[in-house]
Every structure is written in C-alpha cells, then in structure tokens.
Amino acid sequence: MSTHDLVERLIDILRTEADLHDRLQSSMASLRNAYSALQTDELETGLAPLTKLGEQAAQSAMARDEICSQLAEQLGVAGRLTMSKLLPLVPHQLVGRLREAADLAKSAAQRARVEGKVGERLLALSARMQRHLLGGVPTEEGAAIYDGRAMVHRAGARRGSMIEGVL
C-alpha cells in the first residue's frame, strides 16, 4: 500500500476509534450513573453493549497498530510513533485531516480513560463496602467466626458468645 493509502486508512480508523471511544465512554458513564442511582438491573444489562464496544475498539486498535507499523517502516520513523513525528512526513494534502482525526480520537480516548478511572475508584469503594457488610459473617464453607450481629440480636445471648457457624 502506498503512503497515501496508508494515511487515508489511518484517518478512517482514527475516526472509527473516536466514535467507538465516545460510545464506550457513554456506556461506562451510564453504568456509573446506574451505580450511583442504585439501579441494579441497569447495571447488569449494561455490560453486554460495553463488551461489544470493547471488542470493536480492540479490533480497531489492532488495525491501527498494523497501519502505524507499516507507515513507520515506510517513512523511517524510529521509536514510538506519534503524530508529531508522523505529520511532517505524510503527504501535505492529508496533514489537516490526519491531525483532525487524531485529535478527535485522542480526546475521545482521554474521556473514556477518565471514566475508566472513576469506575476503578467506585470499584474500590464497592470492595470496601462488601468487606464491611460481610464483616463478622463467614463466607466460606466450614468457617467459624465471632458474629457481632448475631450476638446483638439473639435473645439471651451472652456477651462474647461464639457461634459455631458452619455453612
């Protein structure tokens, strides 16, 4: 493929990626909002479209990597390929469109990344909440544990009673 054709292909992929990451961000934001709004059902159903978008994004990323490798080889770009290295080397008439597509894709990816980070933090909070909620309650077969809650509410329980909990 000629450099011109490779750049045209790269522009197409970047535009596709911009769209995919926008939708990815939007889906993740919906999940986040469902989490914040305590909407369990939406959380569970929201995973499927996210998975599909993620697979498409991965396919686009692979196609982009391939095109970038070919471009780097053709244009003699050493090291990490960035737009600042690539743009001075591509055909003049394509520079504007490539720059625009790259900026769009970069912005969309940044937004998606931010949403991912927020998701990670909420995940950490979820994990802590679960630990706290399950605190004092055995979750493994055969576990025995001092159960603060049972003691509190069990009539006639003496302080410090050990409940032989076996699941």
Partner 1 sequence: MSFGLDAAIRALSASQLAIQTAGQNVSNAATPGYSRQRVLLASALPHTIKGGFQVGTGVEVSGIYSTVDDGLELRLRLQHSASGRAQVDLRLWNDIESLFNEPGGGLSTQLSDVFSQVGNLQSDPSDLGFRNGVVQSGKALTANLNLLADGISTIRNGTFTQVQSLAREVNQHAQVIADLNQEITRAEATGIRANDLRDMREQRIKAISEVVEVRSIERPTGSVDLSIEGRVLVASNRASSITASVDNAGKTELLIGSGAVPVVPSGGQIAGLLAHEDTGANRVLADLDRLAFNLALEFNRVQTTGIPRDGSFDSLTSFYGVQDTNGNAARGDELLSQSGLPFTVQKGELYVTVTDKATGQLERTKIDVDPQTMTLNDLQAALDQIAHLSAAIDPNGRMRISADAGFGFDFANRLDPQPDSFGSFGGASPSIGTTLSGPFDLSTALASPPATFTVNIDGTPLAVDLSPSDFRTPSAATAAELAAAINNDLGTSATAQEVGGRLVIRSNSTGSAATLSLADGTGSPLASLGMSTGTTRTGQAQAVTPQISGSYTGSTNGSLRFVPNGDGQIGVTPGLTVSVFDENGATIATLDVGSTYSPGTQLDIGEGVQVAFGAGNVSATHGDVFELDTISDSDSSDILVALGLNSFFHGTTAADLKVNQTLQSNPDFLAAGLTGASGDASNLSRLLDLQGQDLTALDSYSIEDFYATVVGEVGFEGAAAESTVEAQDSLLANLQQQRDSISGVNIDEEMIDLLRFQQAFDAASRFVTIVNDLTQTLVNLGR
Q: Supply angle C-alpha 32, 36, 42, rounded to 5.
A: 65
Q: Is 132 in the site for partner 1 (CB under 8 A)?
A: yes
The only residue of 46, 71, 90, 94 in contact with partner 1, by rule CB under 8 A:
46
Assign 40 to helix, strand or coil: helix
Say how far apart CA 26 and CA 94 lie, in whole Å. Answer: 30
Q: Report in angstroms how near the CB of residue 23 gets to partner 1 at its nearest.
A: 12
The only residue of 2, 73, 76, 78 in contact with partner 1, by rule CB under 8 A:
78
At 166, list the tokens: 């076996």
C-beta of 1 vs 157, nearer to partner 1: 157
The only residue of 22, 64, 71, 90 in contact with partner 1, by rule CB under 8 A:
64
| Torsion sign over Cα 91, 94, 96, 102 | negative
Say how far apart CA 61 and CA 55 lie, in whole Å. Answer: 10
Q: Report in angstroms how near the CB of residue 47 gets to partner 1 at its nearest.
A: 6
Of 1-9, 89-97, 137-145, the segment contacting partner 1 by CB under 8 A is 137-145
Say how far apart CA 138 and CA 150 lie, in whole Å. Answer: 12
The only residue of 6, 7, 17, 22 in contact with partner 1, by rule CB under 8 A:
17
